[in-house]
Structure 1
Amino acid sequence: MSRSATTAAVAERLWEAVAEGDERTAASAVHQALSDGMDEETLLLEVVAPVQTKVGTEWAADRITVAQEHAATAINERVVASLAHRRHHDGGTGRTAARGRVTVSCVDGEWHAFPARLVAEVLSLRGWQVDFLGAQTPALHLVAHLHRTNPEAVLLSGSIPIRLPAAHAAITACQAVGVPVLAGGRAFGPDGRYARSLRADRWAADARGAVAVLEEGMPRPDPSASRQAVDDLPHLADQEYTMVVQSRPQLVKQALVDLETRFPALRGYSEEQRERTVEDLAHIVDFLGAALYVDDAELFTAFLTWTAHILQVRNVPAHSLSMGLEVLAGRLTDFPRALKLIEQGAAALAECPNCPAPGSETPV
């Protein structure tokens, strides 16, 4: 059997186990592959990582529940931990790593820690001493850790684009104490465009890319070259991002009132339905704010079309997104960049092949 066929077979066994919530079988499949000669990095990146990706894909397609998705992720996390414990028990790479010390951390507010954990484990395998700080690390605490450890670099992970302002603050704070930042994760864009606009020192698409960047070496930034967010993103001078984010609670509340006025049936919603409507409006405002921060319409339109797809596969009318955009536009008449983003978002929904035609549905 070829190497690719072998990894595919192990991945299938792992997927079947995590889908059933069977942690013992999942661990057995991975550890047996290790005993049979598959190296740990291959297991992490070509078996566990694709299985975790499939977990997300199956949830998005409504083929597994949120609870199943959480259980599967938890099993994968414990499988990765078991591999690390086995490595250290067998005398593998430990705290005396020779290549240098690095910190791996998630952006403040980012709770998707699994991708960062995989990167940390691969770096450890490659001989780096890794401090893995996990999910949702506030910039203040991250910097305090850097003062204590003085690592070669910080690897900053983010999966949700609404955390990009927090990522920017962390990048600036790390560089202000002379530690370079290597950014990675879906939040930074498919080509790392947001990592560049936020002035991260480098970007990597995956764990092996991160290893390559570190092996090339990352020069330390000049701590005296302090800067403000507007220095990197001059469009922030118009204050639209700040004002939209600060008014988020009022915007959501007012948008809900406007929706009720347009569609009186919404007043008869159950408490749970109203809560979900409020959550949907809040998500729209959050992603609008992130798009304003980086001045990129694609961030906003990608969120809207993805959300429309998620709603469609769950047989939930997706036209409510368009209605949400309309009522928000009515509340943001003094914000030209925000209005333009909303207009582009509405156009993307109208052109989405899997989205309903405007006016064909009533709101959720």
Structure 2
Amino acid sequence: MSSQSTSPVLSTDALAEEVWGSVMALDEPAAVGSVLRALDDGVGPESVLLEVIGRVQGRVGEEWAANRISVAQEHAATAMNERAVAALALHPAARTEPRRGRITVACVDGEWHALPARLLAEVLRVRGWHVDYLGAQVPTPHLIAHVHRTGPDVVALSSSIPTRLPVAHATITACQAVGTPVVVGGAAFGPGGRYARLLGADGWAPDARTAADDLARRPLPRPRPGHQAIDDLPHLKDQEYTLIARGRPRLVREVLAELEDAYPAVRDYTEEQRERTAEDLSHIVEFLATALYTDDEELFGGFLLWTADVLHARGVPAASLLPALTLLRRRVGDFPRAVAVLRAGADRLTRTLLTAAGNAE
């Protein structure tokens, strides 16, 4: 009997640590080899997908946010994890004949974090679904053309970025209009799937395993004519979302110019620092617009706290966000909901910073 067949089977915790070490060492053969050996040793493909590769990818995001790995390392790690999934999908242990129905798995247009959707696609394949995996950033018209051509029982949409929610809403509505139910997942849809319900999705799941369980338990009914449309969100009638979303480039230019006038230190920024500041301002306006679309101040406040943590990890004072919020609030003074969102976000950030300062004393 070979040494491989008699070697002890690693727990998924230990296996995740092993793969993590290989990924951080940029040793793709070792990472893929660990995955394949686990399958040879009888570890279930679903466990390897979710408890090993998925866990490693989650840690990649946490390490990037904490500034312990670079963007280049994050990209390399993600690419290795994707190739590990591809290798797993070809292993005999993961090959299952389709016996359920057909499902299309895709990322919302503009969503480039494709690995969560890929993990879901492979879990569903292991569970016996015929899966069409379309990958990242799928434009809605192309998705609908695919649905017309293949007639899936369900479309599964993935998004990690909340700013893609308006596009997700349009995609959900378009799929339902052609009679196809939509299940959604990913961090973009908020705690407990609060935005999934708001946008009229037929189902939501917090993770791939739950999604697969739910789909196996009960088929989603075909949407009926007259299903919720985008115009059914009454708060959008004030046009604040539309005007701020369309005016984002102008708002970024104006606030950046006012920052330079009000804070002389900004004038001495390098070109790279100016670009980073403009990017941060653009994200702030984009999340403001999304908060207006969902009519949810919490979405914007949560983004500010996350951004503050990222800035702090990079040695940038989180308090530097507050002047920009003040200037932006003046610029959108004619929009009462936008002003309220900005004020609530600034207040929440200020309280958090004061609490952190107090704890540090």
For the superposition of Structure 1 and Structure 2, which TM-score range results when normalised by the shorter chain? over 0.9
- Displacement of 1:226 in angstroms is 5.6
What does residue 220 of structure 2 align with?
Answer: 218
SS of the residue corresponding to residue 105 of structure 2 reads strand
Asked if 1 retains the 8 angstrom alpha-carbon contact of 2:108 and 2:164, the reply is yes
- Aligned ranges for residues 38-57 of structure 1 at < 5 Å? 38-57=43-62
Q: What is the CA-CA distance between 1:91 and the residue it aligns to?
A: 8.7
Separation (CA, whole Å) in 1 of partners of 2:77 and 2:354? 28
**Shift in alpha-carbon separation, 1:356–1:274, aligned structure 2, 3 A:** farther
User: 3-state DSSP class of the match of 2:156?
Assistant: strand
- Please report how far the alpha carbon of residue 249 of structure 1 lies from its aligned counterpart in structure 2 after TM superposition: 0.8
| Structural mapping, 1:188-207, within 5 Å | 188-207=189-208
The answer to whether the Cα contact below 8 Å between 1:318 and 1:356 also exists between their aligned partners in 2 is: no
Q: Is the 8 A contact 1:30 1:43 kept in 2?
A: yes
CA distance in 2, matches of 1:128, 1:355: 50
For the 8 Å contact 2:88–2:94, the answer to whether it is kept is: no
What is the correspondence of 1:341-360 to structure 2 with a 5 Å cutoff?
341-353=341-353
Code of the aligned partner of 1:221: P
**How many Å separate the matches in 1 of 2:315 and 2:351?**
19
5+ residue gaps, structure 1, are 358-364
Alignment partner, residue 146 of structure 1: 147
Write the deviation string for residues 13-37 of structure 1: whole angstroms up to 9, x where unpaired: 0000001111011011111111111
Is 1:181–1:201's contact at 8 Å kept on the other side of the alignment?
Answer: yes
| Alpha-carbon separation, structure 2, partners of 1:355 and 1:30 | 44
On the 8 A contact 2:9/2:38 being kept in 1, the answer is no
- Equivalent pair of 1:309/1:355 in contact (CA under 8 Å): no
Alignment match, 1:317: 317
The CA deviation string for residues 189-224 of structure 1, in whole angstroms up to 9 with x for no partner, is 1200000000001101111111122121100002x3
Q: Confirm whether residue 67 of structure 1 aligns to residue 69 of structure 2.
A: no
Q: Residue 289 of structure 1 aligns with which residue?
A: 289
Which deviations, in whole Å up to 9, do the C-alpha atoms of 1:341-360 show, x marking residues without a partner? 00011011111148877xxx
Q: Secondary structure at the match of 2:192?
A: coil
Label 1:179 to 1:4 Cα distance change in 2 as closer, same or farther (>3 A).
farther
- Partner Cα distance (1:336, 1:276) in 2: 29
1:279 aligns with 2:309: no
In 2, distance between residues paired with 1:273 and 1:51?
31
Q: TM-score, normalised by structure 1?
A: 0.93
Gaps of at least 5 residues in structure 2 are 1-7
Contact between 1:161 and 1:187, CA under 8 Å: does it hold in 2? yes
| Partner secondary structure for residue 104 of structure 2 | strand
Structure 1's consecutive aligned runs of 4 or more residues displaced over 6 angstroms after TM superposition are 354-357
Deviation at 1:150, TM superposition (A): 0.6
Q: Is the 8 A contact 2:319 2:353 kept in 1?
A: no
Structure 1 residue 229: deviation in Å? 1.3
CA contact (8 A) 1:319 1:356 kept: no
**Which amino acid in 1 is paired with 2:33?**
S
Match of 2:182, as an amino acid? V
Q: From the superposition, tell whether residues 332 and 91 of structure 1 become closer, same or farther in structure 2 (CA, over 3 Å).
A: closer
Q: Which residues in structure 2 correspond to 1:1-364 (within 5 Å)?
A: 6-87=11-92, 92-94=95-97, 97-215=98-216, 216-222=218-224, 224-225=225-226, 228-231=229-232, 233-353=233-353
Give the total of aligned pairs.
Answer: 349
Tell me which amino acid in the other structure corresponds to 1:278.
Answer: A
User: Using the alignment, how far apart are the partners of 2:77 and 2:164 within structure 1?
Assistant: 25
Question: Quick one: distance in 1 between partners of 2:73 and 2:282?
Answer: 25
> CA 1:170 to 1:193, structure 2 compared with 1: closer, same or farther past 3 Å?
same
Residue 112 of structure 2 aligns to a residue in which SS? coil
**Secondary structure at 2:191 match in 1:** coil
Give the TM-score normalised by the residue count of structure 2.
0.94
Q: Which amino acid in structure 2 is aligned with residue 168 of structure 1?
A: H
CA distance in 2, matches of 1:133, 1:100: 17
The AA in structure 2 aligned to 1:126 is: R
